[in-house]
Structure 1
Amino acid sequence: MATILIIDDDDAFREGLAETVQDLGHSPTEARSGEEALAQLHECPAPACIFLDFRLPGADGLAVLDSLRRMPGLQTVPVVMLTAHATSDNTIGAMRLGAFEHLTKPVGRDEIAALLERILTAQSGAPAARVFADEVTSREPQLLGVSESMREVQKRLGRAAAANATVLITGETGTGKEIAARVLHRASARVSGPFVAVNCAAIPHELLESELFGHGKGAFTGAQSDRRGRVEEAHGGTLFLDEVGDMPLPMQAKLLRVLQERQVTPLGTNRLVTVDVRVVAATHRDLASMVEAGTFRQDLLFRLNVIPLHMPPLRERVADILPLAEHFLAGASSDVLRKHLSADAQRLLATFAWPGNVRELANAIERASALAPGQVLTREDFVFLTAMKDTADNAADAIPATLLELPLPQAVAHLERTLIVRALSAAAGNRAEAARRLGISRQSLYTRMATLGISDA
């Protein structure tokens, strides 16, 4: 028999949970507020587990959890946070302070039984608390989502915020990998330090070393003075390496050394600079397959993938589509003329595949809001989505049979090469115009042309 403390000001819920705990063969104790619970804990032995409501009279659940983690003998007691309305902020806040789990009311008997069995069998406890900055305002980047898959992402991100290990964020383009990295930085003890983002795919390979590690005066033509690299700029904070899968092999070796030694050598110098940075990397590529193909270092993957965090595509989190749409619409509307989604528009958005994920949804809402003649956005205001789908379907039907017989990497490379050559031809060799037609940056076009062996058209 284990003692389970339940802290909740909702008498009916607290008493019902206590009855369930007792039916499962354990001994429940109850408190209606954090202050009452803390007074009990000063007088009684530590319980085996604590259920703690987020909203309480007086100090809220996060403040109570923080106090629990400071009390001798209670730092490792598993705490299960309860809330009637889960948000990304309260989920991440609970997990970063070491909560064992974060549940949304109502909670069923089977879920309680399974959770207690997991807690009492493993007795893994929760990590000791750390002091973090206050919650930020809603104007800061937020990792929004109420679906089960996003709740799991928020929980893992909250746990990762309490550590200092390297994080690898994977997921399709547009799923919010950089937002996740910024939220992780904001929730960590490094929040007072800089957040420095580097897009490895957008910087020409020959300039990437200087961009990351800096250079000395005279290191190359045009280097008229010393320059700090982005790694050094991130000292005391977080370095976000976006699209790390596009980093060339020679740079991968140099990045591995930085991760191992925590030192950088600016280009053209013999000077060692010690850095204290947390590295968060992101990619939409399958790095394991790239390791097998010899295009990504296995030892670097091991170094980056200490804490993996996968961002699910929007099609796998349908429950988030309409809340996200309303959020983006609120941002796109003026305070005077607040726009809304009609029922048919909501049905269209909820059933659309969203190949571009959250980024595509945000762009669609902004476009429809700007062009819609009325205050209510209808299905007709999103007709461009179905037009884009029809174009994509027609393009898929037009793929030559010979291309379909190739292995996927070769087929993709062939198709990408064809599109780039056509864009360059249509732009009369103007790379900036070709990049605009392809919807990518000029630097990305340079990189892809070099990779695919495409000369000027």
Structure 2
Amino acid sequence: MAMILIVDDDTAFRDTLAEALCDLDYQVSQAASCEAGLRRLQAGGIDLAIVDLRLPGDNGLAFLRAAPALAPGVPCIMLTAYAVGSNTIEAMRLGAFDHLTKPIGRETLAQTLARALRTKENDTVDTSAMADTSQAGEQMLSNSEVMRAIFKRIGLVADSDNSVLVLGETGTGKELVAQALHANSARKAGPFVAVNCAAIPADLLESELFGHVKGAFSGATAERAGRFREADGGTLFLDEIGDMALPTQAKILRVLQEREVTPLGGRHALPVDLRIVAATHRDIEADVAADAFRADLWYRLQVITIHLPPLRERPEDIDLLAAHFLQQGGNGRAKRLSGAALAALRAHGWPGNVRELRNTMQRAIALSEGELIEAGHLGLNAARASQAQTATTAAPPGDIDWDGPLDAAVATLEAAMLLRALAACAGNRSQAARRLGLSRQQLYRKLAQYGLE
């Protein structure tokens, strides 16, 4: 029977988790601080540790740093109640087996423990569900499982020198991913250089990237190092690489293969030591098939691929990000969203993704005179704002009888929430189901149950 160490200063949570572990046929040892947990780990007999991030004194990351020397091979699972990407990436970079958020579901707990202990027995690394966060990342916030999986992936690959290709629509945060990869790598003391390949004319891009010698062309009155050499020892982020001309792609491929760069007009290649992170909003596979992007460069870049989902596919992040941007741009002024404004945000399709949401919040902060931001301050589509207003003001199908039977009160509340969700999602049942945490089949059954079809 495996012995699980719980390190958490919340006595009630620790006892509840210990009870769940005992029900799963594990033995349990408990500690209320990082120091006490490390002493217990050093004493031996521990097969796995579950460690809270926030602890009195040294935090859970300190536990992760010290644990391998005290008990090599013992997997550690980090817990947090805070949705900040940087903590997850750092935990994974330090070797955490996984990074879970409180509260933990029994099934998730059982599956994670089984994988971790199986990994320990086989003495191999299981990367199927590694954890989330990174130093770049107070801005990388998410409540969604899909983004947490991406945070975990960043933490796992940050220390390697492999090229990374980041895919995603405009505004999803591709540069933030590149910054997180750099900030959590062995190259973090080196430069992070970002180039938007789509913003530089094709006839100037080669000089921008590779540099030039004096007299290489008309106007080249002095030598220029170029972005590859500027990024030497660090990370070069090539944004919108899908818009790069084919001849320039061929030269990029050579730099990746030979790790040297020849300035325009130069006779000798110069060595460079850097990591390449590239990004694009384009469908690169389709471009390769259409001979619009070099297949060999695509293969070289996509050693590791990270695909960022659009904001409309993770609506649970809208509230969190909106609150973050409000706090970030408020300049000390306390601003809050009205119910209608929040519903309007949830109903919007966000074609510009997180960047559009940030700009929307900045506009709302500027246009609202008081502390309350209304739907009109957002500047979103008027029809959607109107639908959202209806969602917040629509009367429930009946008043709750607080002194009546519990079943009747729950039914009234459920029906009201169904109507709100449908109105906020402009009648889109798939979105309403996700918003309510239901499957579509469950939503349809409840609509039929309450006569709301």
TM-score by length of 2: 0.78
Q: 356, 370, 374: which one pairs with 1:374?
A: 370
SS at match of 1:312: coil
- The aligned counterpart of 2:409 is none
SS at match of 2:316: helix
Tell me, in whole angstroms, the C-alpha distance in 2 between the residues paired with 1:219 and 1:93. 45
Computed over aligned residues only, the root mean square deviation of the Cα atoms, in angstroms, reads: 2.3
Q: Is residue 2:322 matched to residue 1:325?
A: yes
Q: Is residue 2:60 matched to residue 1:78?
A: no
Q: Is residue 2:308 matched to residue 1:274?
A: no
SS at match of 1:202: coil
- Contact 1:77 1:126 (8 Å CA) reproduced: no
- Contact 1:243 1:282 (8 Å CA) reproduced: yes
Shift of 1:173: 0.4
- The aligned counterpart of 1:56 is 55
Structure-2 change in CA distance of 1:330 and 1:56 (3 Å): closer
- Contact 1:214 1:227 (8 Å CA) reproduced: yes
What amino acid maps onto 2:280 in structure 1?
Answer: T
Tell me, in whole angstroms, the C-alpha distance in 1 between the residues paired with 2:16 and 2:291. 58
Q: 259, 280, 283: which one pairs with 2:280?
A: 283
How far does the alpha carbon of each residue in 1:76-113 deviate from its partner, in whole angstroms, 9 at most, with x for none?
A: 43211012223222212211212111111121221111
- Contact 1:348 1:379 (8 Å CA) reproduced: yes
SS at match of 1:285: coil
- The aligned counterpart of 1:364 is 360
What amino acid maps onto 1:94 in structure 2?
Answer: A
What amino acid maps onto 1:58 in structure 2?
Answer: G
SS at match of 1:235: coil
Tell me, in whole angstroms, the C-alpha distance in 2 between the residues paired with 1:163 and 1:126. 17
- Contact 1:88 1:143 (8 Å CA) reproduced: yes
- The aligned counterpart of 1:230 is 227
Matches within 5 A, 1:214-253: 214-253=211-250
Matches within 5 A, 1:172-211: 172-211=169-208
SS at match of 2:306: strand
Tell me, in whole angstroms, the C-alpha distance in 1 between the residues paired with 2:364 and 2:372. 10
What amino acid maps onto 2:110 in structure 1?
Answer: A
Q: 345, 348, 356: which one pairs with 1:349?
A: 345
What amino acid maps onto 1:98 in structure 2?
Answer: G
Shift of 1:42: 2.5
- The aligned counterpart of 1:394 is none
Shift of 1:233: 0.1
Shift of 1:8: 1.9
SS at match of 1:227: coil
- Contact 1:165 1:278 (8 Å CA) reproduced: yes
Tell me, in whole angstroms, the C-alpha distance in 2 between the residues paired with 1:299 and 1:50. 44
What amino acid maps onto 1:358 in structure 2?
Answer: V
How far does the alpha carbon of each residue in 1:200-239 deviate from its partner, in whole angstroms, 9 at most, with x for none?
A: 1111112111111111112111112211010000011110
Tell me, in whole angstroms, the C-alpha distance in 1 between the residues paired with 2:180 and 2:48. 29
- The aligned counterpart of 2:308 is 311
Tell me, in whole angstroms, the C-alpha distance in 2 between the residues paired with 1:282 and 1:184. 13
How far does the alpha carbon of each residue in 1:339-388 deviate from its partner, in whole angstroms, 9 at most, with x for none?
A: 22111101101111111111111111222222234331111223443379
How far does the alpha carbon of each residue in 1:162-217 deviate from its partner, in whole angstroms, 9 at most, with x for none?
A: 32221111100011111221222222222221110111111111211111111111
Tell me, in whole angstroms, the C-alpha distance in 2 between the residues paired with 1:19 and 1:364. 46
Structure 1, unmatched stretches of 5+, are 128-133, 391-457
What amino acid maps onto 2:361 in structure 1?
Answer: I
Structure-2 change in CA distance of 1:351 and 1:271 (3 Å): same
Tell me, in whole angstroms, the C-alpha distance in 1 between the residues paired with 2:109 and 2:347. 34
How far does the alpha carbon of each residue in 1:98-157 deviate from its partner, in whole angstroms, 9 at most, with x for none?
A: 211111112122111111222233443479xxxxxx967xxx862122222221222211
Tell me, in whole angstroms, the C-alpha distance in 1 between the residues paired with 2:158 and 2:98. 15
Aligned length: 377
- Contact 1:141 1:182 (8 Å CA) reproduced: no
Tell me, in whole angstroms, the C-alpha distance in 1 between the residues paired with 2:283 and 2:321. 27
TM-score by length of 1: 0.77
Structure-2 change in CA distance of 1:197 and 1:367 (3 Å): same
SS at match of 2:334: coil
- Contact 1:213 1:267 (8 Å CA) reproduced: yes
Q: 151, 155, 160: which one pairs with 2:152?
A: 155
What amino acid maps onto 1:364 in structure 2?
Answer: T
Tell me, in whole angstroms, the C-alpha distance in 1 between the residues paired with 2:52 and 2:329. 34
What amino acid maps onto 1:379 in structure 2?
Answer: A
- The aligned counterpart of 1:28 is 28
- Contact 1:78 1:126 (8 Å CA) reproduced: no
SS at match of 2:296: helix
Q: 100, 105, 110: which one pairs with 1:113?
A: 110
Q: Is residue 2:3 matched to residue 1:3?
A: yes
- Contact 1:239 1:277 (8 Å CA) reproduced: yes
Tell me, in whole angstroms, the C-alpha distance in 1 between the residues paired with 2:104 and 2:162. 33
Q: Is residue 2:26 matched to residue 1:17?
A: no
Q: 328, 332, 336: which one pairs with 1:340?
A: 336
Tell me, in whole angstroms, the C-alpha distance in 1 between the residues paired with 2:284 and 2:316. 29
- Contact 2:41 2:71 (8 Å CA) reproduced: no
Tell me, in whole angstroms, the C-alpha distance in 2 between the residues paired with 1:172 and 1:66. 36
SS at match of 1:220: coil
SS at match of 1:94: helix
Structure-2 change in CA distance of 1:290 and 1:304 (3 Å): same
Is the deviation greater in 253-262 or in 376-385?
376-385
- The aligned counterpart of 1:404 is none
Matches within 5 A, 1:163-178: 163-178=160-175
Structure-2 change in CA distance of 1:340 and 1:77 (3 Å): same
Q: Is residue 2:100 matched to residue 1:103?
A: yes
Tell me, in whole angstroms, the C-alpha distance in 2 between the residues paired with 1:331 and 1:16. 36
Tell me, in whole angstroms, the C-alpha distance in 2 between the residues paired with 1:389 and 1:204. 40
Q: Is residue 2:89 matched to residue 1:92?
A: yes
Structure-2 change in CA distance of 1:388 and 1:205 (3 Å): farther
- Contact 2:8 2:55 (8 Å CA) reproduced: yes
- Contact 2:348 2:380 (8 Å CA) reproduced: no
